[in-house]
Structure 1
């Protein structure tokens, strides 16, 4: 209790009784009323002071307040009839609760002639109380008395803490003392239920000082205003604003549905569930008005009770709602459907869902509101709002608020659904255009990874490993500017172009020049179609396991990283070159020798660059991740991605290609310089047979002899010296190469009946797996591959 002025202590009789009925406190006012001192009565049963049973009903275990007239026995034996107000006080320090019983000793008459009271009561349009400078109640109007549920003439002389023991009464008294001391008004806000009201209201109490003609503070006026409507309107506006900020933070359907449920609990409902229609086949939109029975899949739910124990369906579960269910009714009607248990609206559930009926009875659910999720003429699902802890049913304002919030959420869910559908389509296209597996080659061991962007969608990153003639291999990594289906389609065209250009064995710089011309043409076509310019970067490398040399060129792409067999990783110094699509600018190649077991790391800028770091810092992290040895290239790929990418995924596409070089032993290569003399072709065939015998490949000698004879003869007849023959032997392949300094390449044609020539290359094509020619700086090379496994 607040400290009491001695004069106030004598003006009001106060007694404290614990739950066992024992008197615990007895003030001076109580002594003046009944003549007993505190020493006489404290610690004794309070019932000993009663001369008669109290009128009305005594307070029960759950009551917080009681008022009535008691007949008490005075110390001198006479009886005293007293009106008493008693209210329960919360336990102090974990002890038992107590009751404070008070009664004013001086029943002041109605001070209607008191200028202080008259001015306040007549000028106040709302519930008003007047307190003097000792915080004794001097006057109360009828509106306030009705709110308190107590007779006005009985309250005079009491303080706020005498009228009630809740924390807000002590807070009111504390602020009143502050107003008396400072002369400045104070505002209090509370959400409480007045006596006789069915639901709590929002109240604004204005505590204002009352002064006399000389400006001296003589009392305090407390005016209470019911601003429930304004408070509810503010809450609704706040919920709408919060929904606009919190819902739709990602383009994920499930996450957006969860955000809708989170926003509405507990502001609008005690439990919210969001159920969505399953996507249609072939990616079509759901029907505008689905016909019952309706299948809905739980996307999200939220509850004021941790763990959502009242939920019947777990996320991901599909339930079928028949006609007559609130969910089906709201979808058919296209508007919110409010159902209340007391009115019997949910009785039909008993016929088809007894589990839900048991949950309704278990948790005391009394109201539900089913609101359809609709956007752009499409029905997406249903949001169900449920109340059981909050005792009030849903109102029309609640319905309008729920429809407003779900309409905003439906647009976000539809955006997420459309984005997910387009992303899945683009990702399917992207994966179909990327290599499903890397071809095994004798030149390199390769491993790769591709990751689509986490937020911005699938882009145009790609990689490839392309077997070339002479056991060489081409490695390529590229990145098309932009995201979405257009970028993926452009990537597919560029990858096809690279494979086509690689098949004719163009050097890296010439290949990028042709690819640049293609991108320029694509950009012009896109401009005509209103799709915008096309841009890309690319890195192209060719490795020869015989010479163990690698030539590289790049077009605006990040340089590769080389990891030697016994040294730290380093970035390869490689001329940058302009990005593809600029046009008219040259590209430069670089060549380096690689020891067997060296690892080349190619990647796109989505791996090394991000919002938090630049490309140089990313290159440093990449080299650090490649430093530690790994048992396999696949393990190294995983370690690199883990080291460089954030937990939520990269903001851009990521392509990573690792290649460990292999070298072909000198013993698997045989080379002869051939004089330009047709009579020496027979000795050359003999040397070839001897070499095949040394390699234990005599079973391929007949085919190899015919191919070598034809290729050497053509080189002597149509080429220019010097002429060189080279045989390359691998586990599954025998390669025959004839080089000369002429730049004229042979062409396969069908010989006519009386033609003397034209049948040699046709014979080579029939006897070998594949054949072809490639231009070199010295001239050309005609090559043919013979499969050894088939021969065996």
Structure 2
């Protein structure tokens, strides 16, 4: 039979019956051109002498033009000639020596597989094959000898190369070699198809390099880069700890948990080492590859402080730990040796910064994964150090956030005091302590002040500014200013506070933060059933009438307080029947996008249209109907239902400009107090009436009007005239005959003051009603 590496084969008559790829390359003719033709037509004249008398060469071999010709038997049994290429003994020797060296000395793993993927030849000196002999490998498949992590995927890879001829280069295969069954190795595998010159598939050749060290280093680098990118993007402790365990699982560990000391979670300073077991830890984050797996610290031994956990919080060093999950009575022990079969591997490291201890980071690996090694400690140390810095930032933020929220709660009324003239319900969301406020408080003459607003920014500085503005509103309101005038004075206050910020040192970050404020201030009068409003920035209030109809009050809008624009503030007076509802809210209560804001405002009006429902129910439904405010905003909603004052609790008299009328005024007052069952206030009230009425008769401009008002808490006496002159409290000398009238009123009253309307002034005095026994 002709050899497989023959260039060409001719029969006894010199006709070509086989033509190889090498013959095609050597002679420049395709097989279709050569087969069936006489060899003399294809080759040079030097070949013809042999081809014309092939029988003369039947007993031996002939070399013609560098080719080797030898007799052969054709497939049909007839005689023929096989023509082989030139043979170099020296080249064959070198090729053989090279193959022997590669398969006996090279550190690169080499295998030759037949088409059935059985090993035909192997390099036993390569990594992972120590201790093997050829009988253990030859004739076996590699998957039968080496336990691979994913044998099906690897088998599909080599079969694809065998079928297509396209090599697979630098594919990573994970194997536990018999020489080191406790550790998983990573090999870079390249697979090539072997075929004869005529294209017949002979099998596969594989080149294998152990890249375990490289891949472990790259894996650690990837974990470190992920920690740098994802950990610390939030200033919340829970989010920081959760990001850390998500980065470490499953790439570096099968489970991870972060435990922080209780003082750290509360935002207090981190204790210094050593930390004793009397300081509790809190589990802040946990992640595992198995969703149903609970924290490995529960049910698998006293993990909170014993052994490595306590030692880590004492010496502030990371520790490798080996323990058995089913041994619930033993304490995990520090170990730097290969763990026993079935044992888990763990690393416990403290989270520290400078001299403070924040807690521990615990990492676990299950028995079917390589245990942690000393090289892993370097990665854990770096990740822990970076995380500790972020935890410290979050701790400081938590402390400042807690202080700001506490300050905000102290500066705002937790529940506005019940008012005679109105009923109120409010909603206040402040996840990031900010400058939102609301208030409902009484004014003179049975009136009630309503206000909602928001200072720009968040944090403790915004909260402090809010407290300053709310105090200013109360102070200005006590002067009985009209809403537009009050906002003008409040605008001056905001600008003065902004100027103080601008004068801070350049290193103070507060210096560059702008200070503005939105504010709506309204005064409701239950005697006239009207409400006067003024607005600086912020949205328009919604009015709901008793019949359920709603509209948006067109209050003249001025720029935000402190905005720098010189714009006059204007007020508007709205008639409100008893039972009307006023909805005041900040701009953050509704979406910022105009189209969404209009839709949300429409839904709010639909909810409030059911005005007969309790205010608490309306508030709750409004909050759930309107889209939730964005995180970090300070959203406020204040609902106020108006009431009318009982006409039987108001007495009004005209006062003639005659000194004799003062006696009549005292008598009417005494009779009215008796009718109201307030005889115990008769003496002081008569003195107040006498002094204020006397001043009005002497210095006032007619017409003069006296009014006595009783509500749930106070008794108010008012004197109104047309004079623009405001009285002043004097401290008369002992020898003075007069000048003590207002002083007497101030001493007998719990409060007094003067308010001006468009063309009149009113002096009022207020007394607390006696407690009901």
When the two structures are superposed, what TM-score results if normalisation uses the length of structure 2? 0.77
- Aligned with residue 286 of structure 2, among 301, 320, 332: 301
| 1:753/1:790 CA distance change after superposition, 3 Å | farther
Structure 1 contact 670–728 (Cα < 8 Å) conserved: yes
Partner of 1:448: 426
Match of 1:147 in 2: 129
Aligned counterparts, 1:476-515, within 5 A: 476-515=451-490
Structure 2: which 5+ residue stretches go unaligned?
1-90, 506-510
1:243 alignment partner in structure 2: 227
Please report how far the alpha carbon of residue 422 of structure 1 lies from its aligned counterpart in structure 2 after TM superposition. 0.6
| Residue in 1 that maps onto 2:317 | 335
* Selected match of 2:259 from 275, 280, 294: 275
Please state how far the C-alpha of 1:790 moved relative to its aligned partner.
4.7
2:558 is matched with which residue?
Answer: 577
SS at match of 1:681: helix
Return the offset for 1:517. Answer: 0.7
Given that 1:249 and 1:256 are in contact with CA atoms closer than 8 Å, whether structure 2 keeps it comes out as yes
Give 3-state SS (helix, strand or coil) of 1:338's partner: strand
Q: Is the 8 A contact 1:560 1:572 kept in 2?
A: yes
- Contact (CA 8 Å) 2:729, 2:743: kept in 1 or not? yes
State the partner residue of 2:540.
559
Change (3 A) 1:470 1:304: same
Q: Distance in 2 between matches of 1:294 and 1:320?
A: 11
CA contact (8 A) 1:477 1:602 kept: yes
CA root-mean-square deviation: 3.8
Q: Are the aligned partners of 1:561 and 1:602 in contact in 2 as well (CA < 8 Å)?
A: yes
Contact 2:188 2:210 in 1 (8 A): yes
Output the CA distance in 1 between the equivalents of 2:134 and 2:286. Answer: 50
- Looking at structure 1, the residues matched to 317 and 134 of structure 2 have their Cα atoms a distance apart, in angstroms, of 49
1:742 is matched with which residue: 723, 746, 751?
A: 723
Is 1:460 the counterpart of 2:435? The answer is yes
- Could you tell me how far apart the structure 1 residues matched to 2:551 and 2:224 are? 55
Q: Which residue of 2 aligns with 1:398?
A: 376
CA distance in 1, matches of 2:622, 2:188: 62
TM-score w.r.t. the length of structure 1 is 0.75
Shift of 1:415: 1.8
Q: Deviations over 1:225-267 (max 9, x none)?
A: 2211222122212222333344335332234324333432343
For 1:512-527, what aligned pairs fall within 5 Å after superposition?
512-527=487-502
Quote the residue 2:525 is aligned against. Answer: 544
Structure 1 gaps, min length 5: 1-111
From 589, 593, 606, the counterpart of 1:624: 606
Q: Distance in 1 between matches of 2:143 and 2:669?
A: 116
Q: Return closer, same or farther for 1:145/1:640 CA change in 2, 3 Å cut-off.
A: closer
Instruction: Determine the C-alpha separation between the residues in 1 that align with 2:131 and 2:646.
Output: 105
Residues 310 and 363 in structure 1, CA contact (< 8 A), matched pair in contact too? no
- The answer to whether the 8 A contact 2:124-2:130 is kept is no
User: Deviation digits for residues 520-546 of structure 1, max 9, x if unmatched?
Assistant: 111111100142332111110001000
Bigger-Rg structure (1/2): 2
- Deviation of the 1:601 alpha carbon: 1.4
Structure 1 Cα separation of the partners of residues 448 and 592 of structure 2? 31
Whether the 8 Å contact between 2:753 and 2:765 is mirrored in structure 1 is yes
Aligned-pair CA distance for 1:554: 0.9
Note the alpha carbon deviations across 1:554-599, whole angstroms, 9 max, x for none: 1112221112121233221111101111343211101100011111
Cα distance in 1 between the residues matched to 2:265 and 2:216? 44
1:260 aligns with 2:241: no
- Deviation of the 1:119 alpha carbon: 6.9
Question: Map of 1:152-171 to 2, 5 A cutoff?
Answer: 152=134
Question: C-alpha displacement at 1:302, in angstroms?
Answer: 3.7
Matches within 5 A, 1:418-429: 418-429=396-407
Distance 1:477 1:261, change over 3 A: same
Match of 2:218 among 225, 234, 238: 234
Q: Structure 1's 183 and 392: CA in aligned 2 closer, same or farther, altered over 3 A?
A: closer
Superposed counterparts of 1:591-606, under 5 Å? 591-606=573-588
Match of 1:128?
A: 110
**Where do 1:173-184 residues align within 5 Å?**
174-184=156-166
Q: Secondary structure of 1:516's match?
A: helix
With over 3 angstroms needed to count, the CA separation of the structure-2 counterparts of 1:321 and 1:205, relative to structure 1, is: closer
Aligned pair 1:726/2:707, yes or no? yes
Separation (CA, whole Å) in 2 of partners of 1:745 and 1:362: 95
Tell me the SS of whatever aligns to 1:725: strand
Worse overlay, 427-436 or 167-176? 167-176
Out of 584-593 and 768-777, give the one that drifted further. 768-777
Residue of structure 2 equivalent to 1:677: 658
